[in-house]
Structure 1
Amino acid sequence: MLSNLSAGVFIQIDPDVDEDQTKNPERKKLKLKEVHLTKLLSTKVAVHSFVEKLFRSIWGLTLSRSPFAVKYFFDFLDTQAENMKITDPDVLHIWKTNSLPLRFWINILKNPQFVFDMEKTPHMDGCLSVIAQAFMDSFSLSEMQLGKYAPTNKLLYAKDIPKFKQEVKMYYKQIRDQSPVTPAEFKDFLHEESKKHENEFNEAAALKELYKFIERYFTEIKQKLDENGVPAELKEQLQHVKQSFDGLKSCSWS
């Protein structure tokens, strides 16, 4: 059937979709969604290998070893869970997921212009949102309940998500099973990373932000240090740092 004749635009659609539009609008919506989903699935097949490669480059481990920063931080979360006597593995899964995949990687997946010199068009934005949704679903602990009214972006990767979820669980397990990063190793790592960016980092701006945080939460920080029984020397150093910054309030940070 042809529609929009007056505008000179001709679109071929299923007669069943156009029939009784006013009487059964929901049927029309579902029919159009089925047609739309079929076309999207064809497109998904064309790019699926690239999406899989992207995901596995994120949660895969090069030479069976995670980056030092990731291992160090995940071990920190494990330690916090032990200190709080949290034994539910789902809690740790959520902590780690919220701190790295959902806070960092999702932002990059949805906004590649942050990393690459490119323009993100509205069409590209819609496509990236579908990929980002699949990535988020891969880290989710809840089971998807999909019906005929489920959003298209979830239906596209519905069959792949269970496999991705298993890979994510293995990713977290492999990192946890690795040998810990020693303080000396992490210090060397930070030193090497600092050398790479020594001409890009604005120390004054970073110090200013740290001072603003210390000034705002100084009482709470001191209380936590007391509760955790840290050495008196460390508390004295913190007090000295704050006093030093207090004396520089009138200076120009640049």
Structure 2
Amino acid sequence: MDCLPLRFWVNVIKNPQFVFDIHKNSITDACLSVVAQTFMDSCSTSEHKLGKDSPSNKLLYAKDIPNYKNWVERYYSDISRMPAISDQDMSAYLAEQSRLHQNQFNSMSALHEIYSYIVKYKDEILSALEKDEQARRQRLRSKLEQVIDTMALAS
């Protein structure tokens, strides 16, 4: 469904020591790998055909995956039906977050990471912006193309 939540949550699930002060032994690691695999399968848009030769970690929760997929789809559907926030509200929120965390955040590093991601997935992102009605109204594709061109000149 969405690669960013997967990248974040799978990493946290498989590596709880990144967030919590714990030691992860091999048994815990194996169990967390099963949970992470179940989470990835639940968010996947492709169907996985399972058989007698399938890994046991995929078979363990196979009957629950369709239900989990429905939850994930409903989650994203609920988000898409939420009212859009205004540019002013978003700007005010981001300005407040920036002020609150100004000493904890390297904005240039973050911008470079975002730019690297955008360049890597440029075609897909631009296509998605073109297909989205609200993004078209706000001319987000054009604005992003200008940012990409400006950054490319600066490199």
Alignment TM-score, normalising by the size of structure 2: 0.67
Structure 2 unaligned blocks of 5 or more: 120-125, 127-140
1:163 and 1:104, CA in 2 relative to 1: closer, same or farther beyond 3 A? same
| Structure 1 position 209, deviation (Å) | 6.7
Query: Which one-letter code corresponds to 1:105 in the other structure?
Result: W
Query: What is residue 130 of structure 1 aligned with on the other side?
Result: 34
2:91 to 178, 187, 190: 187
1:180-202 CA distances to partner (integer Å, 9 max, x unpaired)? 12211211221232233233224
Q: What RMSD over aligned residues (CA atoms) do the two structures have, in Å?
A: 3.2
Q: Considering Cα pairs closer than 8 Å and 6+ residues apart, tell me whether 1 or 2 has the greater RCO.
A: 1
Query: What is residue 154 of structure 1 aligned with on the other side?
Result: 58
Query: What is residue 76 of structure 2 aligned with on the other side?
Result: 172
Identity of matched residues, % = 44
Structure 1 unaligned blocks of 5 or more: 1-92, 218-223, 247-254
| Structure 1 position 175, deviation (Å) | 0.6
**Structure 2 residue 16 is the aligned partner of structure 1 residue 112:** yes
For 2:27 and 2:5, locate their aligned partners in 1 and report how far apart those are by CA, in whole Å.
24
Runs of 4+ displaced beyond 4 Å: none
1:55-80 CA distances to partner (integer Å, 9 max, x unpaired)? xxxxxxxxxxxxxxxxxxxxxxxxxx
Query: Which one-letter code corresponds to 1:110 in the other structure?
Result: K
1:4-62 CA distances to partner (integer Å, 9 max, x unpaired)? xxxxxxxxxxxxxxxxxxxxxxxxxxxxxxxxxxxxxxxxxxxxxxxxxxxxxxxxxxx
Partner SS, residue 164 of structure 1: helix
| Structure 1 position 107, deviation (Å) | 1.0
Q: How many residues align?
A: 127
Larger helix percent: 2
For 2:66 and 2:72, locate their aligned partners in 1 and report how far apart those are by CA, in whole Å.
10
| Structure 1 position 122, deviation (Å) | 2.1
1:202 and 1:141, CA in 2 relative to 1: closer, same or farther beyond 3 A? closer
1:197 to 89, 94, 101: 101
